[in-house]
Structure 1
Amino acid sequence: MMHTLEVDLGDRSYPIYIGAGLLEQQGLFAPHVAGRTVMVCTNTTVGPLYLERILGTLQLAGAKAAHSVVLPDGETYKDWPTLQRIFDALLTQHCDRKTVIVALGGGVIGDMAGFAAATYMRGVPFIQVPTTLLSQVDSSVGGKTGINHPAGKNMIGAFYQPQAVVADIATLNTLPDRELSCGLAEIIKHGAIADTDYLLQVEQWMPRLLARDAEALALVVKRSCEIKADVVSKDEREGGLRAILNFGHTFGHAIEAGMGYGQWLHGEAVGCGMVIAAQLCLRMGRLSADEAARLKKIVIEAKLPAIPPALGVDRFLELMAHDKKNDAGAIKYVLLSGLGKASTSPADEALVRQTLTDLGAGA
């Protein structure tokens, strides 16, 4: 069974297709690639598994020519030199403004290919084909594209919506366990910020999700995409509401940057970041002890870290000062007022320091 959702953004609206075996469904790609040149961006891990398959599908869908560029795998390569390799491939193949870029991979490939699409010849179409759980439930939807800077994650980028998102659940069968847990972090986040019934379902289904039950995975991908699509349709460029999707990310991005990109995976950092944020909410009287403990329990059950690295409190605050949500130099946190209710807010620095210290983040 295939689920179809719509991200409602007026003339930039697009479908999300969720199901097993979608990489072979040429009808999903034909409306976007027929008669056009296609450049598939992938990496050295995903390429050997699925590149030839997607190239064949695109050719059957009517692509005039189908090329590919294979990038090194990992967050550490989400940078200018690696992005340049995409532009080199596009220019070598004489790709024009009608060329369609296809992002085949996880969040790093989706972000980089999307940013290349946003900027090559001032904008060409692209399609997201996410192959990790994290990218299927989160990063492939919403149009955030970009690369990292040593001073902060995703600091260079653009809002640029895809033509379609094709999420083939079958690709999750080849996903390493650690990457599967990373996707669960974003799923937990969606329940924590917007839907307590969904959070309960995720909690109850955790054994099925870890066992890669196809039905359970398809349903959580669908529900997470529904939550994110609803938020994005109301606030495409993160002027207000959309910032709640960054719950756990202010602390998480600091962990990623402070440890060195790739040492902690994004979902691992977000999972731990949610635990830190929940403890801060507890100190502020916004969450009960039971709610904070429950969220931490779910994170641990997803096989995600709940203890932050000992970066040092000052270093944490320095890194969080680069967060994109910040306003006039003040760090803005995504906080919960009970599970299922999120908003952005400043927080007293003394409370943040005490929270980080108590959780073991002090050097």
Structure 2
Amino acid sequence: MSRAPISETMTAPVTVGVSLGDRSYDILIGPGLVAKAGAELARRLPGVRAAIVTDANVAAHHLEAFQASLSASGVDAQPIVVAAGEKSKGFDTLQEVVSGILEARLERGDAVVALGGGVVGDLAGFAAGIVRRGMLFVQAPTSLLAQVDSSVGGKTGINTPHGKNLVGVFHQPQLVLADTDVLDTLPAREFRAGYAEMAKYGLIDRPDFFAWLEKNWQAVFDGGDARVEAIAQSCRAKAAVVARDEREAGDRALLNLGHTFGHALEAATGYDGSRLVHGEGVAIGMALAHRFSARLNLASPDDAARVEAHLSAVGLPTKLSDVPGGLPGAERLLTYIAQDKKVARGALTFVLTHGVGQSFVARDVPSSQVLAFLEESLRP
């Protein structure tokens, strides 16, 4: 598939299409989309009613404006506000959301709108996928991580004590509205965490994009055209993979670069966002994946050093010792890795690399090699 060129300037908003036959949808990216949300829903889903699932933090900043936009276009919407944080991605909060949707008397042809970050999107999308055996779903991601990753592709779900995202469904949205203005309200830490997912696309198979980020990351953080460009490039990368492999039967697994290590770290810290948020786990995981690849003589140590240098430059953690509060031993970490949903019949699967932009899926990775690498990585 041809790729849009990386440019230094662009006019926003832009549209990125996700091609899935009769379930295709658009990702709209640019400023001011919260104000346009009602018009977009009324035009694309005429007569729809909605539940707006959001969290307390996002509600304080954006719910009033978002609901006003829907109301102005004649879209009746009922807000459902949940507690902020990863711990809301569980059965108790799912039941709360499902009850709110049913109490609003919404029908199968109505929509669940996720106004929030990855937690809200995963939670609301799962609810949309199971209530009345499948309702319409709209993503309005308010974090960088959600705009470039979790809002695109239809993966929804919740966590359990056994691991992250182990219960869920594939349920594609009808529309994604990525308002780049709302990112200005993010704490710096959350923006950096989302940037890790953005860098991931360059490290998978777009080395030119990674090089562009090395040069332009500060402009992406500052906002404007560079931010829109980077988000659009990330969404194009993910949309292309999703179109080829919607249900992660093949090369969609490449999108898990850094995630097998990262999810294990999140589980090891009890999903405590004060210690580690998802994007930080992914950043450490990507650095580990490149170092592990070098240890296995699959890639040059220079590539691992380059990746670590860039992630460190933007303020992301890259080492196990960067996780505050300490971690359990290597054997316990390996247990979390073995529980990850990317394990098939007990064999460990990792996304490894032959260099920047040359990632591949490695199956049947010996657990003894992973254990030795973890022991080495945990040493001061």
Q: TM-score, normalised by structure 1?
A: 0.96
Q: Which amino acid aligns with 2:291?
A: Q
- After superposition, the C-alpha distances for 1:305-350 in whole angstroms (9 at most, x for unaligned) are 1111432110111001111221210110011122112221132333
Are positions 1:350 and 2:372 aligned together? no
Letter in 2 for 1:259: T
The worse-fitting range, judged by mean Cα deviation, of 198-207 and 158-167 is 198-207
Aligned partners of 1:225 and 1:205: how far apart in 2?
Answer: 18
Alpha-carbon deviation of 1:178? 0.5
Give the aligned partner of residue 227 of structure 2.
217
Distance 1:115 1:178 in 2: 27
Query: Cα distance 1:30–1:276, how it changes in 2: closer, same or farther (>3 A)?
Result: same
Q: Give the C-alpha shift of residue 62 in structure 1.
A: 2.7
Match of 1:122 among 118, 129, 133: 133
1:49 maps to 61
Structure 1 distance, partners of 2:123, 2:43, is 23
In structure 1, stretches of 5+ residues that fail to align are none
- Measure how far apart 1:29 and its partner are: 1.9
CA distance in 1, matches of 2:368, 2:256: 22
Please tell me whether the aligned partners of residues 148 and 231 of structure 2 are also in contact (alpha carbons under 8 angstroms). yes
SS at match of 1:359: helix
1:110 aligns with 2:128: no
Q: Give runs of aligned pairs for residues 135-146 of structure 1, distance below 5 A.
A: 135-146=146-157
- In the alignment, the residues of structure 1 paired with residue 46 and residue 228 of structure 2 have an alpha-carbon distance, to the nearest angstrom, of 28
The secondary structure found in structure 2 opposite 1:45 is helix
Corresponding residue of 1:29? 41
What is the CA–CA distance in structure 2 between the aligned matches of 1:163 and 1:226, rounded to whole Å? 17
Q: Which residue of 1 aligns with 2:246?
A: 236
Q: Distance in 2 between matches of 1:293 and 1:172?
A: 30
- CA distance in 2 between counterparts of 1:350 and 1:251 reads 15
Q: What CA distance in whole angstroms lies between the structure 2 residues aligned with 1:355 and 1:184?
A: 26
Aligned-partner Cα distance in 2 for 1:28–1:291: 43
Which residue of the other structure, out of 217, 227, 232, is the alignment partner of 2:237?
A: 227
1:33/1:58 contact within 8 Å kept: no
**How do 1:214-363 residues align onto structure 2 when only pairs under 5 Å count?**
214-261=224-271, 262=273, 263-308=275-320, 309=323, 310-345=327-362, 346-360=364-378
Shift of residue 213 of structure 1? 2.2
Distance in 2 separating the partners of 1:16 and 1:28: 12
Conserved 8 A contact 1:33-1:62: no
Q: What is the DSSP-based 3-state SS (H/G/I as helix, E as strand, rest coil) of the residue aligned with 1:339? A: coil
Deviates more, 1:11-20 or 1:284-293: 284-293
Inter-partner Cα distance in structure 2 for 1:172 and 1:76? 22
Query: Distance in 1 between the 2:379 and 2:20 partners?
Result: 41
Change (3 A) 1:361 1:22: farther
8 Å CA contact 1:128, 1:162 repeated in 2: yes
Partners in 2 of 1:267 and 1:163 — Cα distance?
26
Identity score, percent: 42
Change in CA separation of 1:66 and 1:33 when aligned onto 2, cut-off 3 Å: farther
Structure 1 segment 18-97 matched on structure 2, within 5 A? 18-25=29-36, 26-63=38-75, 65-97=76-108
Write out aligned runs for 1:161-172 (5 A): 161-172=172-183
Are the counterparts in 2 of residues 247 and 335 from structure 1 also a CA contact under 8 Å?
A: yes
- Cα offset for 1:33? 4.1
C-alpha separation between the residues in 2 aligned to 1:99 and 1:27?
16
Shift of 1:361: 6.4
Instruction: Please tell me the residue identity of whatever aligns with 2:378.
Output: G
Does structure 2 retain, via aligned residues, the 8 Å contact 1:185–1:302? no
Q: CA deviation at 1:158?
A: 0.4
Deviations 1:13-47 (A, max 9, x none): 00000000011113322234432221000000000
- Give TM-score, length-normalised by structure 2: 0.92
Regions of 4+ moved over 6 Å:
none
The two structures, once aligned, show a CA RMSD in angstroms of 1.3
In 2, are the aligned partners of 1:196 and 1:340 still within 8 Å (CA)?
A: yes
Per-residue displacement from partner, 1:60-102 (whole Å, max 9, x unpaired)?
Answer: 2331x21110000000111010111111111211111122111
**Residues 184-205 of structure 1, C-alpha deviations (whole Å, 9 max, x = no match):** 1001111000100000011111
Moved more, 346-355 or 261-270: 346-355
